[in-house]
Amino acid sequence: MADPHTQGAPGADGAEARDGQAAPLWGGRFRATPSADLTRFGASLPVDRRLWEEDIAGSKAHARMLGAQGILSEADVAAIVSGLDAVADEIREGRLAFDETVDEDIHMAVERRLTELVGSAGGRLHTARSRNDQVALDSRLAAKRLASGLMAACERLEAALLARAEAERETILPGYTHLQPAQPVRLAHHLLAYFWMLSRDWARLFAARRAADASPLGSAALAGTTYPLDRGATASELGFSSVIPNSLDAVSDRDFALDLIYASAMAMLHLSRLCEELVLWSSAEFGFVTMDDAHSTGSSIMPQKKNPDFAELVRGKTGRVYGDLMALLTTMKGLPLAYDKDLQEDKEPLFDAADTARQCLEVVAGMVETLAFNRARMREAAGEGLMAATDMADYLVSKGLPFREAHGAVGRLVARCVAEGKGLEDLALDEMRAESPLFDEDVYGWIELEAVVDRRATEGGTGAAPLAVQLALAEDELARQRAEAPAA
């Protein structure tokens, strides 16, 4: 029986070669083939050749299912599976030469080589299958794999942040708003802010992987097929949790790719913010951290320089991943159902975003693991900037003064300190009482650095007690992620 869903067999009649090209797999309907330049323009092989493992796995599952359904003979199935294993070995060992002037994509390259190895059985592999559901299948398998790798890299950075936070419970540094000293915080609290950002990234990656976890195979070109397929069998063999219930949606949906790129872009946003702070903190003006030599570079002209190049590069690569997201969003926005050639443009941004984000997550994890914190400088800076002003106002409130009046009184004391170049703790009690008689000797203990920090004892605050709770929550979150993470 002829297969109405195949796109031609190798050597199909009616497709004449041009410029030394072999006839394409879809050539039966055509009297001529595109030029070599057009063939290269239309080829996705330079990008999608990395899908070869997914393509071969999907083809083997499809062949076995066709055999189980009585559509292919046992001999054909055995020849196809054996031939696909041989093709896999050739690709893995670098013995299969790819050429986009011959093969449009990885799917055609694999099928062509399979047919060369096993003959007519290879031409029967495409029975009840279209490249439309084939490429959707391969892309979903790849998205699941890429998401798993990103989740593992994300978890490594989370673990690094948590480990450093555990070790820096007593380190105090300035907290900033508008990049101006605001209130002192514990370094552990600051690091955990990034931990929670990354935990949300992990959750987005998990959701993106789940979005890809449904099989399109068996949808054929767009309308399903006349063959009695068992879509559940191929889905199960390939590790999918379900099949996509609508064949039109199955071949045209790329939401899963957008989800993964978006999750990658959000992770890059958080990495960029962290790297921005590391760049600032490693400057001579801050002096809060020293980057490990292995995560820094020097200058070709200035011997004294130690540049945070890799942190800067992560910050710079963020725009690249944003571009990947915008590229695919724009590609998808006006496409009618079902498959359109535009969808060939989905893989490059998907691969680029996932590869870039994973590499950056691994680079930043290495940075965090090897950072040297300058605790003395952080504490010194936390004592600057009159950051106990809010607590001094709260002191007056505790004595019965309305907050707005307390704010004004302390504001005038701040102005005096600025004018005289001293800290609030340097003011004499008489100077304080000139603004409010409620000041007493205990105010000096009230505005000590540790007291200021530990007074932030509300849930989620930087005080010692809520910090201990937060660290325990972070440990639980990391343990949950490790338990729920799918195999890579």
Q: What is the pLDDT of residues 206-240, one digit of tens each?
A: 999 999 999 999 999 999 999 999 999 999 999 99
Confidence grade of residue 168 (pLDDT, cut at 50, 70, 90): very high
| Superfamily name with CATH number, domain 27-127 | Fumarase/aspartase (N-terminal domain) (1.10.275.10)
253, pLDDT greater than 50: yes
Question: What are the boundaries of each domain within the chain?
Answer: 27-127, 132-380
Residues with catalytic roles:
178, 299
Return the pLDDT at 28.
Answer: 67
Percent pLDDT > 90 in the chain is 81
| pLDDT-derived band at 2, boundaries 50, 70, 90 | very low
pLDDT band with cut points at 50, 70 and 90 for residue 22: very low
Q: Residue 60 burial (CB < 10 Å; 0-12/13-18/19+)?
A: buried
Q: Name the pTM for this structure.
A: 0.90
* Between 20 and 302, residue with greater pLDDT: 302
Fold of 132-380: Fumarase C; Chain A, domain 2 (1.20.200)
Q: CATH topology of 27-127 equal to that of 132-380?
A: no
pLDDT tens per residue, range 387-411: 889 989 999 999 999 999 999 999 9
